[in-house]
Amino acid sequence: MKRLPDNITVLAQSPRLRADKVEVVVTIPTFRRPEHLLKTVQSVKAQVTGRRFAIIVMENDAEGQEGAMAARPFFEDGTFEGILLIAHDRGNCNAYNAGWLAALARFPHFSSLLVIDDDELADPLWLENMCRARETYSVDIVGGPQIPVFERPEQQKWARHPVFAPLYDQSGPVPAVYSSGNLLLSRKVLEAMPYPFLDPMFNFMGGGDSDFINRCSGKGFRIAWCAEAPIRETIPSRRLESGWIRARGLRNGVISTLMEKRKRADEPFGRLRVIVKSLALLAFSPFKAIAKTLKSGSPSSGLYYIHVGLGRVLAEFGYANEQYRQPEKN
């Protein structure tokens, strides 16, 4: 068993855990959502599969530890099979990195690692269908839909907004996925990619997952989508406020620029190409916004593309929208 670094502490481990028999590891980062965390872990525990799996919960609030305290008794009495750890360094990238490193260190024979967030619930066949998609399409990365669940029925109209709508409708090989909220990575991916897997630069902005997957794709790892493996994401009403939607669009634009800068860092005139593309996307965004508004009937859906274009350009001036700095507002 490999020793974990000092900024990762194992708080609890299920007593009858057979780490050498685990085929699949499910990682769940958590930050100040103790009640929903338990619902998330219960939905993972209820998976219908013949594959032996273990759960790693990564508590990222080293001071309060609300999630860890809620989940600890269930790991210690064996209700949840796996390990509970503290990722002492704040930031969602640090939490993911801690869990993925612990998976490699503690489970020597797992072949697939899945990710679900602590505000999500897994369908009973989620794990099995994600693993089957990896095998069916011979890929090392699989993404799946995050179905938004709103607080009130009348909010359901937001489900097709670009911020919340799934990327694809059908299963099969795809060029890219952008979210770790419903993700499978093969062990080969984690063994091939340098640590830290997710760049801490994205800790409070988000986008570390998109950047990581993009780098994996650059190394030749193939990607697929599994429409039959949905998770359901709880969407608080504050995320439907215009300010939050605008901030998310700007943030996504910033992330897009940062990723493209990294991709083109060694190309001749790479920086100039990024700037020209950002300006072109911003110039074209009003036309795309009008088309989207006419099609969807939602001005907010149209404005999203203008906000993304603005974010791409603002990134050239050092703008960074760190929505995760204030988790109570996210």
41-65 pLDDT, tens digit per residue, is: 999 999 999 999 999 999 999 999 9
Q: Are 305 and 220 within one domain?
A: no
> pLDDT of 86-119, one tens digit each?
999 999 999 999 999 999 999 999 999 999 999 9
- Inside any domain, residue 44: yes
Residues of the chain below pLDDT 50: none
- Inside any domain, residue 112: yes
Final residue before a domain boundary, out of 215, 238, 261: 238
Q: Are 86 and 39 within one domain?
A: yes
Give me the CATH number covering residue 94.
Answer: 3.90.550.10
Q: Are 33 and 168 within one domain?
A: yes
Q: For residue 290, what are the domain limits?
A: 242-329
Q: Are 227 and 288 within one domain?
A: no
**Closest to 224 (Cα-Cα) out of 278, 172, 163:** 172
Q: Are 192 and 295 within one domain?
A: no
pTM: 0.94
- Residue 190's pLDDT is 98
- Inside any domain, residue 2: no
Final residue before a domain boundary, out of 217, 238, 259: 238
- Residue 328's pLDDT is 64
Report how many domains make up the chain: 2
Q: What is the mean pLDDT of the chain?
A: 93
Q: Are 219 and 258 within one domain?
A: no
Q: Are 149 and 259 within one domain?
A: no
Q: Are 41 and 179 within one domain?
A: yes
- Residue 325's pLDDT is 72
Q: Are 27 and 108 within one domain?
A: yes
